[in-house]
Structure 1
Amino acid sequence: MKHVFIIGSKGIPAQYGGYETFVDELVTRQVNKNIKYHVACMTFNKKTKHYNYNGAECQEISIPNIGGAKAIIYDLKALNWALEQIKQNNLRNGIVYILACRIGPFIHNYIPKFHKYGFQVWVNPDGHEWLRAKWSKPVRKYWKISEGGMVKNADLLVCDSKNIEKYIHETYKKYEPNTTFIAYGADIVRSTLTSDNKKVKEWYQNHNVKPQDYFLIVGRFVPENNYETMIREFMASNIDKDLVIITNVEHNKFYEELKERTHFDTDKRIKFVGTVYDKDLLKYIRENAYGYIHGHSVGGTNPSLLEALADTKLNLLYGVGFNKEVGEDGALYWSKTPGFLKELLEKSNQLSATQIDNLGKKAQQRVVEEYSWNKIVDDYEKSFLEN
């Protein structure tokens, strides 16, 4: 039996983001019964739960709710839990898989302890966390140092993007990092909802939006997702459709500065509609968008991009390596050059139904061939059992 400890997700069943969805899919779709998953789950409760979820052993790790540092404390406490389990149950030759590079300055203390029992330490380096504008300069500096520590000490780095794998080898050449590429996943499944469903009707009525009459943006409301460029270019265009923005918008400094610079509040087409946590409803909204605009500039294989390629036929992606690697010829690409996205929007608004259908088929083909969850889970199971 190969024992795999997964550290760094908030826990399963998934209620949050990409890592949580990945771990959920990994254990739920497990095929090979020679793997036993042990998953650390975050909680702020003093009293912790130990439970089984689709065959995986799940252990809640209690941490104080103290801002950014809590993630570091969580990872370290989770590693201590994994080490205890390995000792107590006399486990040998497994894998400790750490998601993200939060504990670089501390990881070297743990590596020999796990190696003593024949356990390898694997790391998923995520995207360029140190480039994210939401962090202050000292925090960004920590992220960069931490990334270096994880790369230097890991037995294997599992990159979910070929561009991230290339970056790791170029940036940390002196460490001669051992890497492999296994992507993130998505599914081609139609929404179960229909146009006469109550929640569908309410959502469209509440936001004064019509199916097939809007471009869509879905993503975290942060500067590196290029909201300013997308909004500014849409406002400059002659598009007669709405721009529907599904995001965790808070009327914070970024929002106010964006409003001040673009005056988007004066354009009736620009509609910030908040978040949509209902996955089936979000899928329906994606399926019924005229087009999707993706502005993410940081990170590896982005989950919301895969979902867009699976659900929306026409996708306009910011032309960086991460996005081109995923979309290939199933999408159209834009740059931040003033006027570029405006022109692309106007051209895409004139495409025939056949042209849009062809793009949609190519986008879905990309997901089916390279990013289906069954393929990703199979890739992971093979890697776990071969090492």
Structure 2
Amino acid sequence: MAGATLRIAMIGTRGVPARYGGFETAVEEVGSRLAKRGHDVTVFCRPDPDGPGEEHLGMRRVELPIVRKRSLETLAHTALSVINPALRDVQVALVFNAANALLLPVIRARRIPVATHVDGLEWQRGKWGALGRRYYRLAERLAVRWSDDLIADARGIADYYRSEFDAATTMIAYGAPINHSPLADRLAPLGLEPDGYHLVVARFEPENHVREIVAGYAASGARLPLVVVGSAPYAEAYTARVEAAADDRVLLLGAIWDQDQLDQLYRHCRTYLHGHSVGGTNPSLLRAAGAGAYPIAYDVIFNREVIGHHGGYFTEPADVTAEIMAAEREPDRVRVAGAALQAAIRRYDWDDVTDGYEQLCHRLAARSPNPR
């Protein structure tokens, strides 16, 4: 897009390089493209001993320390970010995660217009106790009140904010990388072959239904192994439940940071099982769809918005069992449906996503912060 270059700050995530989740993926994909278009992009990052230093893909990295406690880590890091000197002269702030809404007045006090990417229904996540859930509900209201704009990545999230708070949002989805690569050399070290396994990629959290997927698979007579990629900090108890549900056909690989290997896992699986239920449009689902994988997804509006009729759905382990067995009986049907979804998913384009963020930033920079 044509227009003046801007100084943009991206706050509230683990930062770049993207090695964790959807927010980090969005920051890397959008921030690098904004930088390539000439904008000055600063990303506040958590400590990364293997990080690239002060610059990554044209973005300035500002590493700040963290409090290693799940309930405080995000908010404490964001608090350090919003008072950091690197925020001086920034024209627009993009804050990710409504949980950071408590700190929006600090940004506004610095006369910086701010948009908050509200993500999914965080208060529904099982890892939070009663106090955490109440905080997240409060944070949603504060984000509505104190943001100059709200960003939603899925229609279901936009509908929620409209019905719950009578608040408009700017709809900007994630992008989907398209992967046609035939390369499969990174599978052999894992003992895998193309079209020879089912795949899960997820953080080990209850609302991602990893345990239900593993239990449903274990109850099946599946011939192909189930490959599970993922872990989570502070999730020892849930990880133990996943391990207890597995049998010897389940390969628990933990986290994989090798992106080429992950691309090959997505590209060559028989099915991709996706249990995410509260997070809006999920980048892992988009990545699997962009690789032509056949998805079997937890049945919620966010996943149906992406997949439509090009995949299967489940709500309990028995559904997983049935879907996996059907996929092994009908490989041609699965292959055709995956290819159709890959074609349809081209509507999720990172350049178009960046256009949306760029337009939003120009609108925000053209005015001073105003109460919603």
Match of 1:279 in 2: 259
Distance 2:207 2:53 in 1: 38
Cα shift at 1:300? 0.8
Instruction: Please tell me whether the aligned partners of residues 211 and 241 of structure 2 are also in contact (alpha carbons under 8 angstroms).
Output: no
Cα shift at 1:84? 5.4
Match of 2:187 in 1: 200
Instruction: Please tell me whether the aligned partners of residues 292 and 312 of structure 1 are also in contact (alpha carbons under 8 angstroms).
Output: no
Q: For the pair shown, which has the larger CA radius of gyration, 1 or 2?
A: 1
Instruction: Please tell me whether the aligned partners of residues 127 and 298 of structure 1 are also in contact (alpha carbons under 8 angstroms).
Output: yes
Q: Is 1:374 equivalent to 2:322 in the alignment?
A: no
| CA displacement, residues 332-380 of structure 1 (integer Å, 9 cap, x when unaligned) | 22232x6333222222222252x233212221123212x1212211222
- % identical equivalent positions: 26
Cα shift at 1:61? 2.9
Instruction: Please tell me whether the aligned partners of residues 230 and 254 of structure 2 are also in contact (alpha carbons under 8 angstroms).
Output: yes
Greater relative contact order (CA < 8 Å, ≥ 6 in sequence):
2
Cα shift at 1:281? 0.7
Which of 132, 136, 139 is matched with 2:125 structurally? 132
Q: Is 1:95 equivalent to 2:92 in the alignment?
A: yes
Question: 3-state SS of the aligned residue for 1:339?
Answer: helix
In the alignment, structure 2 segments of 5+ residues that lack a partner are: 365-372
Q: In structure 2, do the counterparts of structure 1 residues 190 and 343 end up closer, same or farther at CA, with 3 Å as the change threshold?
A: same
Cα shift at 1:303? 1.2
Match of 1:341 in 2: 320
Q: Which amino acid aligns with 1:97?
A: L
Q: Is 1:254 equivalent to 2:266 in the alignment?
A: no
Instruction: Please tell me whether the aligned partners of residues 187 and 193 of structure 2 are also in contact (alpha carbons under 8 angstroms).
Output: no
Q: Is 1:212 equivalent to 2:205 in the alignment?
A: no
Distance 2:193 2:327 in 1: 18
Cα shift at 1:50? 8.5
Cα shift at 1:63? 4.4
Distance 1:191 1:374 in 2: 21
Q: In structure 2, do the counterparts of structure 1 residues 237 and 28 end up closer, same or farther at CA, with 3 Å as the change threshold?
A: same
Match of 2:73 in 1: 70
Q: In structure 2, do the counterparts of structure 1 residues 238 and 59 end up closer, same or farther at CA, with 3 Å as the change threshold?
A: closer
Which of 295, 300, 303 is matched with 1:320 structurally? 300
In the alignment, structure 1 segments of 5+ residues that lack a partner are: none
Q: In structure 2, do the counterparts of structure 1 residues 237 and 36 end up closer, same or farther at CA, with 3 Å as the change threshold?
A: same
TM-score w.r.t. structure 1 length? 0.82
Match of 2:25 in 1: 21
Cα shift at 1:223? 1.4
- RMSD in angstroms over aligned alpha carbons? 2.8
Distance 1:340 1:84 in 2: 49
Q: Paired residues, what number? A: 357
Distance 2:308 2:265 in 1: 24
Q: Is 1:362 equivalent to 2:340 in the alignment?
A: yes
Cα shift at 1:284? 1.0
Q: In structure 2, do the counterparts of structure 1 residues 342 and 54 end up closer, same or farther at CA, with 3 Å as the change threshold?
A: closer
Q: In structure 2, do the counterparts of structure 1 residues 368 and 331 end up closer, same or farther at CA, with 3 Å as the change threshold?
A: same
Distance 1:157 1:279 in 2: 31
Distance 1:374 1:302 in 2: 17
Which of 244, 267, 277 is matched with 2:227 structurally? 244
| CA displacement, residues 302-348 of structure 1 (integer Å, 9 cap, x when unaligned) | 11111111124321111100100111132222232x63332222222
Q: In structure 2, do the counterparts of structure 1 residues 23 and 252 end up closer, same or farther at CA, with 3 Å as the change threshold?
A: closer
